[in-house]
Amino acid sequence: MSRTQLVARIGRNWVVLFLFLLCVIFSFTGRGFLSLKTLNNILLTSSPALLLAAGETFVIITGGIDLSVGFVRGLISVISAIVIRDLYALGYAPYFAIFCGIVVGVLLGLLPGLVNGILVARFRVPPFIATLGMYGIANGLALRYSKGFPITFLPDEVGEVGNGFFFYLLPGRLFTVFEKPLGLTEAEARNLVGIVPYATVIAFALLFVFGFVLSKTQFGQHIYAIGGNIDAARRAGIPVEKHLIRVYVISSLFAAFSGVLSTLIFSIGTHTQFAASLELFAIAAVVIGGASLMGGKGSILGTALGVFVLSVLEVGFLMSGILPFYRYIAVGTILVFAVVIDQLFPEIVYD
């Protein structure tokens, strides 16, 4: 293999190689990084981010951008938590309240995307402006309903659903399926390891379904065509306006899934100013995963790799004792590097 071919191969697989390199580095700098507990922590905390970035992938492939996903996620997290809390306070069964909170959150999550899609597709409002407007609306509504505070006093079952595992392992002693073992001492409880979080399975299932839609269906191929050349797509008879509306609805839907899942995982409805960085995290993950901001390129698998790069970076920095603000410097550097790689190797697509 020539040097040019070697450089090209490394360039095409740089995300996978970089993720592996991060794991190797943090295994030396972060005590306990290479452990089942750390892996589960990365998987669990990455699950809402995976959903948020997956929805953004659809929009970026069309050549657009959705800046509203962070605050839509925060708004839906607040609303779903309020529904769960109020129904539980009225005496309804915990799991019924949770089910209603999920349904209400997901259904309401369709509305911001529908508005964004109509503005972009029918009224030709630039995606940046349309979604920036929704960004402000979602932020204001979330503050209105939460009054600026997290929504708490949710039933314990919320945490059981969000933080549950399919398997539990007490090394050398016990292995259970679905149910957390009872009667453990304090020391045994500390050593108990959950394997395969419910939240991660839910996120992966949604990613698999919509990844199939994106890569194997006519609708998915039309999305790539729109991102590649929107005028040519119109001349080819592709219903561009309808597809753009659907794409923004999908993005908002995934933001709603992310908001509901974060409520279940953290057992609170959260809306803080930190949500303002979530859309930047999602966009960074999509671009790091090989998508082009010019449109016509990207994949769900690549986005998932991008999310894990950022999640491993965050957990690794934390376990290595590195100050949190360095994470933003690192993410910005990686993002610029990803754009440069996209220019050098435009054929990269993780599929």
The per-residue pLDDT for 141 is 96
Nearest to 135 by CA among 155, 119, 157, 123: 119
User: Which band of pLDDT confidence, cut at 50, 70 and 90, is reported for residue 191?
Assistant: confident
User: Which band of pLDDT confidence, cut at 50, 70 and 90, is reported for residue 207?
Assistant: very high
The per-residue pLDDT for 223 is 98
Over the stretch 258-275, which tens digit does the pLDDT of each residue have? 999 999 999 999 877 554
User: Which band of pLDDT confidence, cut at 50, 70 and 90, is reported for residue 1?
Assistant: low
- Most confident stretch, 162-166, 236-240, 291-295, 327-331: 236-240
The per-residue pLDDT for 112 is 98
Averaged pLDDT, 142-162? 93
The length of the chain, given as a count of residues: 351
Radius of gyration of the chain, Cα coordinates, nearest whole angstrom: 21
The per-residue pLDDT for 9 is 60
What's at 31, amino acid-wise?
R
pLDDT higher than threshold 60 for residue 311: yes
End-to-end CA distance of the chain: 24
Averaged pLDDT, 99-121? 98
Distance in angstroms (rounded) separating the CA atoms of residues 126 and 129: 5
Averaged pLDDT, 126-131? 98
Distance in angstroms (rounded) separating the CA atoms of residues 199 and 38: 16
Distance in angstroms (rounded) separating the CA atoms of residues 16 and 294: 23
Torsion of CA 57, 286, 76, 259, to 10 degrees: 120
Q: The whole model's pTM is what?
A: 0.93
User: Which band of pLDDT confidence, cut at 50, 70 and 90, is reported for residue 130?
Assistant: very high
Please state which of the ranges 29-38, 78-87, 90-99, 311-320 shows the lowest mean pLDDT.
Answer: 29-38
Nearest to 55 by CA among 304, 240, 348, 225: 304
Averaged pLDDT, 212-220? 96
Arithmetic mean of pLDDT over the chain: 90
**Domain spans, the chain:** 11-161+197-344
Averaged pLDDT, 301-326? 91
Residues 148/267, Cβ–Cβ less than 8 Å: no
Distance in angstroms (rounded) separating the CA atoms of residues 26 and 39: 13
Over the stretch 14-59, which tens digit does the pLDDT of each residue have? 888 999 999 999 999 988 898 888 998 899 989 999 999 999 999 9
| CA-to-CA dists, residue 246 to 112, 220, 237, 243, 251, angstroms | 12, 11, 17, 5, 9
Q: Which residue has the higher pLDDT, 184 or 67?
A: 67
pLDDT higher than threshold 60 for residue 350: no
User: Which band of pLDDT confidence, cut at 50, 70 and 90, is reported for residue 11?
Assistant: low
Residues 6 or more apart in contact with residue 180 via CB below 8 angstroms: 164, 165, 168, 192, 194
Pick the CATH number of 11-161+197-344 from 2.60.40, 2.30.30, 1.10.3470, 1.20.58: 1.10.3470
